[in-house]
Chains A and B, each alone.
Chain A
Amino acid sequence: MANLGFLIAAYAAVWVLLFVYLLSLSRRNSALEREIEELRALLQRRGQS
Chain B
Amino acid sequence: MRRLDTSLAAANLVVMLAAIYAVFVYVPTDKFQGIVQRIFYFHVPLAIMTFVAFGTVAVASALFLWRGGRGWDRLAHSSAEVGMLFCTLVLITGPIWAKPIWGTWWTWDARLTTTLILWLIYAGYLMLRSISGPGDQGARYAAIVGVVGAIDIPIINRSVYWWRTIHPAVLITREGGSGLGDPRMRLTLEICFLAFLLLFVWLVRIRNQSVHLRDRLEDMRRQVLAH
Please list the residues of chain A having a beta carbon within 8 angstroms of any beta carbon in chain B. Answer: 1-4, 6-7, 9-11, 13-14, 17-18, 21-22, 25, 28-29, 32-33, 35-36, 39-40, 42-43, 46
- Digitize B23-63: 1 where CB-to-A-CB distance is under 8 Å, 0 elsewhere: 00000000000111011001100100000000000000000
B39 touches A36 (CB 8 A): no
Q: Taking the nearest CB of chain B, how far is it from the CB of A16, in angstroms?
A: 10
Quick one: given A10-B93, A35-B217, are A3 and B206 in contact (CB under 8 Å)?
no
A29 touches B210 (CB 8 A): yes
B206 touches A29 (CB 8 A): yes
Q: Taking the nearest CB of chain A, how far is it from the CB of B213, in angstroms?
A: 4
Interface of A is mostly: helix
A39 to B213 alpha-carbon distance, docked (Å):
13
Q: Taking the nearest CB of chain B, how far is it from the CB of A31, in angstroms?
A: 9
Tell me if B223 is interfacial: C-beta within 8 Å of chain A.
Answer: yes
Residue of A nearest to B43 (CB): A10
Tell me if B209 is interfacial: C-beta within 8 Å of chain A.
Answer: yes
Quick one: given A10-B97, A39-B217, A42-B224, are A3 and B34 in contact (CB under 8 Å)?
yes
Contacts of B203 in A (CB 8 A): 21-22, 25
B35 touches A33 (CB 8 A): no
A25 to B210 alpha-carbon distance, docked (Å):
8
A41 to B40 alpha-carbon distance, docked (Å):
51
B220 touches A40 (CB 8 A): yes
